[in-house]
Amino acid sequence: MERLFGTGVALVTPFDKKLKIDFQSLKKLLDFTAAKGADYYVVLGTTGESATLSASEKLEVLQFVKHNNPSNLPIVYGIGGNNTEDVISTIHRTDLQGIEAILSVSPYYNKPTQAGIIEHYTAIGNESPVPVIMYNVPGRTGSNIEADTTLELAGQPNIIGIKEASGDLVQAMKIVKYKPDNFMLISGDDMLTTALYSMGAVGVISVLANAFSNIFQEVKQAAASGDFRLATSKILTLLEINPLMYEQSNPVGLKEILRYFGICENHVRLPLLPASKDLSIKIEAQLKAL
């Protein structure tokens, strides 16, 4: 578990102008984030545009990250969906050697009951050869994993944590109060990282860490020393740029930052579009301020 403490970078998937995977830029991103203090990589979460990659492309990206990991950082791999049997089948088909855990989003669109969510994750946990981290993001899935549901699943030996992106701090507090000691609460919201550290979270799976892993490393170090005033001041440097990451949907704004840094181009796959001129101007202004 301790290998997944700190900052997990929710890696983007760079594309070239023909919208093919740009592996050269992906290598630059891996080198850049490792040098800036990333603690581990999260491959093909939402930020990686997993929804618009084919099954073969997903495996190519995973294998590339495995073989181009400059600091040999732990890897978490995204395998989730709203068809439980298909998720399990994908787990069975995937070479998970060298993978620390899978990140599995709560079922979207179906809007299952809490009992259905429990059965979904129980089935995945029973079948996965590696540990499972749940991912609660109601803004995308249309349903919330309630604290009581998380706590019931936390008792299962192969379910080791939750990426909590509900934005509900009271819900997070309830998880922290009643969870087993060996269950990880991970922030899924960049701007709530310090707040969740202060109540017992072990880290963050971050969008902005693609560009600013160093800031999240400073937040982690300050929180570890108990200096939450300093940790807050560090995360507040990203306060104005953070909403721009979601103005036209993630990872549109983030890829615009990475284009500005010379890491990759800002190409995204439909139905997403590259950052508009207006958004680009606003992002550039915030980067200059930083």
Catalytic residue set: 135, 163
Give the number of other Cβ atoms within 10 Å of residue 189's Cβ: 22
CA 106, chain centre distance (Å): 13
Q: What's the rounded Cα separation, in Å, for the pair 14 and 86?
A: 26
Which two structure tokens, joined as six digits, stand for 271? 């139905």
Strand partners, 162: 134, 185
Which two structure tokens, joined as six digits, stand for 173? 């507090």
Q: Which residues contact 186 (CB under 8 A, 6 or more apart)?
A: 4, 8, 133, 161, 162, 163, 164, 201, 202, 203, 204, 205
Per DSSP, helices labelled H in the chain are: 23-36, 55-67, 84-93, 114-127, 138-141, 147-154, 169-178, 193-199, 209-224, 228-235, 252-261, 277-289
